[in-house]
Amino acid sequence: MERDEKQQHDNDEPLFIREAVVKELLSWNDCVDALESALVAATNSNKSADKPFSSQTPRTFTPVPGKGVLLSMPGFIGNYPLQTVTGNERHSTLACKLVTSFSGNSKLNPPLPSILATILMFNADTGRLKAIVDGTEITAWRTAAVSLVATKHLYYSSRRFNSSNDYTLAICGTGAQGRIHAIGMLTYFPNFFSKLNLWNRTKSRAVKLRDELNKLFPGLTIAVLDNSTDCVNDADVIVTATNSSTPLFGKNDLRKSSVHINAIGAGTNHHSELALDIYQSGSVFIESNLGIQTELKGIEAYVKGEIGEVIKDEQRRDNSEKISVFQSMGNALEDGVMANLIYQKFIRL
Ligand SMILES: NC(=O)C1=CN([C@@H]2O[C@H](COP(=O)(O)OP(=O)(O)OC[C@H]3O[C@@H](n4cnc5c(N)ncnc54)[C@H](O)[C@@H]3O)[C@@H](O)[C@H]2O)C=CC1
Ligand SMILES: O=C(O)C1=NCCCC1
């Protein structure tokens, strides 16, 4: 099957890379490496011969009344490396992700993911369609892997040599994103977390994830909590991945002296899962300033910078502050580099 698909590509027809193939080609190290390139490119919009750069417009939202929304996410990433796969070779990618968010899909029989996506890749010299890459699994992994990048640079790197690695990870919301974040955090930071707290509005879903993770990570203590505030109380690193439009917890619910939060989910907007006192007392980082002008318009907090600046070491978490927040929104540049990562691995099979 794969040989036929590549043959088609040799005849200049677009390649189709389906979900099962994408799944086989994903790995956390490659994703983190590729996404660091995308996030650095997000900080530079000037064409450059020696640095990654990018160009993008705000994504569009087409509502389907009472059902969901279709987002179009175009972006160009120039002159970036995919170190783990192609070494020092430089890439340029023009891509557009089309993604739907239909929150009722989990209630269908059989259920479907809420977030379904397709990524179109174009030849960056001619604009001709080059590949159609299934984007559902890519969206799940890339969102979790961007949180890994944020956690690595804002929290993990200054603690990884501590002698006792008994940190607690808390996940609020155990749908597709909560699940993949748990797997990514526990795999990419091995032996860092000794305890995992899970909370979900429907408790049985958290119990189901606990049972799956018990098999994948034997030795890890996993607790299922009855409410979101108990879930985060003793946590060092937190992920929120719900559709909640009201805060899940506030600053007084956090007991540890230093906490990093990855806020992923969107309720009425992309900053409704955390109470205002968290945003106002912590260091808040985002993927791209493009998001501030549009989707983070109403945020009543000072945004310290882009994650790409942290990677370049131009911005830092102030360690005297108790809390750092990565406010995730999702960005087209991430999907572009991820589609190219899968494409580059596929043509090398
Ligand atoms: N930042 C980003 O790049 C991305 C963000 N997302 C967002 O992440 C969130 C989770 O997405 P998925 O896991 O794919 O969805 P999912 O449908 O698989 O899971 C949603 C979870 O949220 C919980 N939930 C729903 N409404 C709630 C409420 N009012 N209060 C508390 N919990 C509630 C559900 O119980 C479920 O566990 C969504 O808001 C989605 O839009 C998704 C993909 C990318
Ligand atoms: O970036 C994405 O992909 C998404 N972001 C917000 C929710 C839908 C998917």
Proximal ligand: closest to the CA of 245? 1
Ligand 2 first shell, C-beta below 6 A:
71, 99, 101, 115, 139, 266, 330
Question: How much distance in Å is there from the Cα of 176 to the middle of ligand 1?
Answer: 8
Among 202, 264, 286, name the best residue to mutate to test ligand 1's pocket (greatest count of ligand atoms within 8 A of Cβ).
Answer: 264
Return the DSSP state at 14: P
Question: How much distance in Å is there from the Cα of 78 to the middle of ligand 1?
Answer: 31
Residue 326 half-sphere exposure toward CB, CA atoms < 13 A:
32
pLDDT digits (tens, 9 = 90+) for 256-266: 999 999 999 99
Q: Which two tokens stand for residue 246?
A: 């009201």
Q: What is the pLDDT of residue 165?
A: 77
Question: How much distance in Å is there from the Cα of 281 to the middle of ligand 1?
Answer: 25
- Place domain 2-139+333-347 in its CATH homologous superfamily: ornithine cyclodeaminase, domain 1 (3.30.1780.10)
Distance CA 30, CA 84 (A): 6
Contact 84, 66 (CB under 8 A): no
Bigger pLDDT: 7 or 248? 248
Proximal ligand: closest to the CA of 295? 2
Distance CA 78, CA 42 (A): 10
Question: How much distance in Å is there from the Cα of 64 to the middle of ligand 1?
Answer: 18
Q: What is the mean pLDDT of the chain?
A: 94
CA 241 from chain center: how many Å? 11
Average pLDDT score over residue span 60-81: 97
Q: Dihedral sign, CA of 76, 82, 86, 88?
A: positive
Atom of ligand 2 nearest to the CA of 97: 3
Instruction: Please determine, for residue 229, whether its predicted confidence score (pLDDT) is greater than 60.
Output: yes
Distance CA 305, CA 294 (A): 16
Structural domain boundaries in the chain: 2-139+333-347, 140-330
Q: What is the pLDDT of residue 5?
A: 63
Instruction: Please determine, for residue 2, whether its predicted confidence score (pLDDT) is greater than 60.
Output: no
Distance CA 146, CA 240 (A): 14
Instruction: Please determine, for residue 59, whether its predicted confidence score (pLDDT) is greater than 90.
Output: yes
Q: What is the pLDDT of residue 1?
A: 45
Average pLDDT score over residue span 298-313: 92
Among 99, 262, 286, name the best residue to mutate to test ligand 2's pocket (greatest count of ligand atoms within 8 A of Cβ).
Answer: 99
CA nearest neighbour of 219 among 237, 193, 238? 193
Residue 41: Cβ within 10 Å count: 29
Q: Which two tokens stand for residue 285?
A: 């980082």
**Complex ipTM more than 0.95, yes or no:** yes
Q: What is the pLDDT of residue 105?
A: 97
Q: Which two tokens stand for residue 271?
A: 């900053």
What is the per-residue DSSP string for 64-98? ETTTEEEEEEEEEEEEEE-HHHHTT-EEEEEEEEE
H/E run at residue 115: strand 115-122
- Which protein residue has the closest C-alpha to ligand 2 atom 1? 330
What is the per-residue DSSP string for 243-301? --SS-SB-GGG--SSSEEEEE---SSSTT-SB-HHHHHHSEEEES-HHHHHTTTTT--S
- Which protein residue has the closest C-alpha to ligand 1 atom 26? 243
Domain 140-330 coded CATH 1.10.10.10: no
pLDDT digits (tens, 9 = 90+) for 175-215: 999 999 999 999 999 999 999 999 999 999 999 999 999 99
